[in-house]
């Protein structure tokens, strides 16, 4: 195999050796418009090299080329697996079978079980205790269990001497790029992609993130570099920045008086209603984002919801229910467990308003407050649209003053 890929040295004894997936556009239902990276790291010890995580299957040539630019891969004496999901563990068997058969694999207690469940009962990883320190290849590594961030097996590894934290999925983002460091990217892109990653991958475990943010000062780690497994690495002020973002995004109180209006439409009636409701929300000083599902991806809806209190959803009645595009987004949002303070639904119908009823039934258990639906038969008149606008203004009033109107 001949490739030109090189490792990037990020500290005296640590190298980034992962792969860049420029073509990735879908990560289990999450639209990754800017691709991604699978970051893996090589740490030079006094008695060999330690590989931290690997890359997704199909990227093994790139991984091996980057490793070879640093050392003979047979010098790898250990692999630390921070997370068993296949974008990071997928090439552990390749490294063991083809390159370093005697390398020991270390993982969290749950990680050792998960790796065996992926690669067969014969696969043996050495379980490391939560909050323990081990010397591997002559270097000291401290392990922090981060269970449910975002899998039961997830952990962080801290290189004590180099002060490098390998944080796995945490603090990452799906962003392909050649530069290594966060300060080599446009801050607006980092904000967009890191918040999108949090909303789509970590939101469902926000309470666990909040606890970890609280406990962070007591963990005994003060990293100079933070290395997530996706996207750029953090250093200097960037570390406090991304930690602050995680504390904010995981705090339900952070949400602002913002509404996300999501809808699909058949003959533009529900669309007209959406625009009128949005106009009313805006008149009531609510920041409003309108997301037609003809062109808005579920993972972007999730990102917009990250700092929003209100979810307003519209669908015409189709086959006595809601449109499948709307059901798709709602199913996704439900799983992510956003703390929705106010829910509202609307839609046009032909002979029975069953689309709005289906929406109401779906959203009510997810929302702290729910208003009565706004429905219109067939095509909205000017009078109907004026009512939709009033409805939007009333929703704004509820957001600012609490639920004194129409809440059910």
User: Is residue 284 within 8 Å of 312, Cβ to Cβ?
Assistant: no
Q: Is 94 a catalytic residue?
A: no
Q: Is 150 a catalytic residue?
A: yes
Q: CB under 6 A: which stretch of 83-91, 157-165, 252-260, 276-284 binds ligand FEO? A: 83-91
Structure tokens at 374: 């706004």
Q: Closer to ligand FEO at the Cβ: 166 or 349?
A: 166
Q: CB under 6 A: which stretch of 85-93, 117-125, 231-239, 241-249 binds ligand FEO? A: 85-93
Closest CA to 194 of 185, 178, 215: 185
Structure tokens at 305: 């919801």
Q: Does 229 bind ligand FEO (CB under 6 A)?
A: yes
- Pairing between β-strand 132-136 and β-strand 139-145 as defined by DSSP bridges: antiparallel
Structure tokens at 327: 């059901």
In the complex, what is the shortest distance from the CB of residue 253 to ligand FEO, in angstroms, rounded to a whole number?
A: 27
Q: Is 186 a catalytic residue?
A: no
Q: Closer to ligand FEO at the Cβ: 139 or 150?
A: 150
In the complex, what is the shortest distance from the CB of residue 276 to ligand FEO, in angstroms, rounded to a whole number?
A: 41
Q: Does 153 bind ligand FEO (CB under 6 A)?
A: no
2, 28, 122, 383: which is the annotated catalytic residue?
28
Residue 350: CB atoms within 10 Å: 13
15, 21, 83, 229: which is the annotated catalytic residue?
83
CA pair distance 159, 130, nearest whole angstrom: 15
In the complex, what is the shortest distance from the CB of residue 32 to ligand FEO, in angstroms, rounded to a whole number?
A: 11
CA pair distance 90, 85, nearest whole angstrom: 8
15, 150, 162, 341: which is the annotated catalytic residue?
150
Q: Is 142 a catalytic residue?
A: no
Structure tokens at 296: 């808005």
CA pair distance 157, 143, nearest whole angstrom: 5
Q: Does 85 bind ligand FEO (CB under 6 A)?
A: yes
- For 362, the 3-state DSSP assignment is helix
Count of residues that interact with ligand FEO, criterion CB under 6 A: 8
> Which member of 87, 193, 384, 393 binds ligand FEO (CB under 6 A)?
87
Q: Is 383 a catalytic residue?
A: no
CA pair distance 379, 349, nearest whole angstrom: 9
In the complex, what is the shortest distance from the CB of residue 255 to ligand FEO, in angstroms, rounded to a whole number?
A: 25
Instruction: Return phi, psi of residue 78, to 5°.
Output: -155, 150
Q: Does 169 bind ligand FEO (CB under 6 A)?
A: yes
CA pair distance 153, 113, nearest whole angstrom: 8
Structure tokens at 249: 């995004």
Q: Is 397 a catalytic residue?
A: no
Q: Closer to ligand FEO at the Cβ: 38 or 349?
A: 38
Strand partners, 292: 263
Q: CB under 6 A: which stretch of 82-90, 304-312, 332-340, 391-399 binds ligand FEO? A: 82-90
Q: Is 184 a catalytic residue?
A: no
CA-based diameter of the chain, in Å? 79
Q: Is 384 a catalytic residue?
A: no
53: left (phi over 0), alpha (psi -120 to 50) or beta: left
Q: Does 88 bind ligand FEO (CB under 6 A)?
A: yes
* Chain residues in the site for ligand FEO (CB under 6 A): 83, 85, 87-88, 150, 169, 229-230
Question: Where in the sequence numbering do the catalytic residues fall?
Answer: 28, 83, 85, 87, 150, 169, 197, 230
């Amino acid at each position: 195999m001949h490739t030109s890929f090189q490792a990037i040295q990020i500290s005296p004894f640590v190298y980034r050796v992962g792969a860049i997936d420029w073509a990735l556009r879908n990560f289990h239902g999450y639209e990754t418009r800017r691709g991604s990276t699978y970051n893996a790291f090589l740490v030079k010890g006094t008695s060999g090299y330690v590989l931290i995580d690997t890359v997704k299957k199909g990227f093994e040539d790139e991984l091996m080329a980057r490793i070879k630019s640093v050392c003979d891969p047979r010098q790898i004496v250990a692999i630390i697996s921070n997370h068993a999901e296949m974008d990071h563990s997928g090439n552990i068997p390749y490294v063991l079978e083809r390159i370093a058969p005697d390398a020991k694999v270390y993982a969290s207690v749950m990680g050792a079980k998960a790796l065996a469940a992926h690669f067969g009962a014969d696969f043996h990883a050495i379980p490391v205790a939560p909050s323990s320190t081990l010397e591997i290849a002559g270097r000291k590594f401290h392990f922090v269990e981060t269970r449910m961030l975002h899998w039961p097996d997830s952990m962080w590894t801290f290189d004590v001497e180099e002060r490098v934290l390998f944080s796995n999925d945490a603090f990452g983002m799906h962003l392909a790029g050649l530069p290594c460091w966060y300060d080599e990217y446009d801050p607006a892109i980092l904000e967009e992609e890191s918040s999108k990653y949090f909303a789509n991958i970590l939101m469902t475990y926000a309470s666990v993130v909040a606890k970890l943010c609280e406990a962070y000062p007591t963990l005994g780690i003060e990293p100079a570099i933070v290395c997530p497994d996706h996207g750029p690495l953090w250093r200097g002020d960037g570390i406090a920045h991304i930690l602050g973002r995680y504390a904010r995004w995981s705090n339900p109180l952070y949400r602002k008086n913002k509404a996300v209006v999501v809808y699909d439409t058949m003959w533009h009636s529900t669309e007209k209603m959406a625009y009128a409701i949005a106009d009313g929300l805006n008149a009531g000083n609510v920041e409003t984002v309108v997301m037609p599902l003809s062109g808005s991806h579920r993972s972007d809806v999730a990102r917009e919801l990250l700092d929003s209190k209100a979810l307003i959803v519209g669908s015409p009645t189709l086959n006595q229910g809601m449109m499948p595009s709307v059901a798709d987004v709602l199913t996704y949002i439900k799983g992510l467990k956003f703390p929705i303070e106010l829910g509202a639904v609307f839609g046009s119908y032909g002979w029975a308003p069953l689309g709005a009823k289906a929406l109401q039934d779906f959203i009510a258990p997810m929302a702290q407050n729910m208003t009565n639906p706004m429905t219109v038969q067939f095509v909205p008149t000017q009078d109907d649209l004026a009512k939709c606008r009033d409805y939007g203004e009333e929703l704004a009033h509820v957001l600012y003053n609490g639920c004194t109107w129409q809440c059910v």
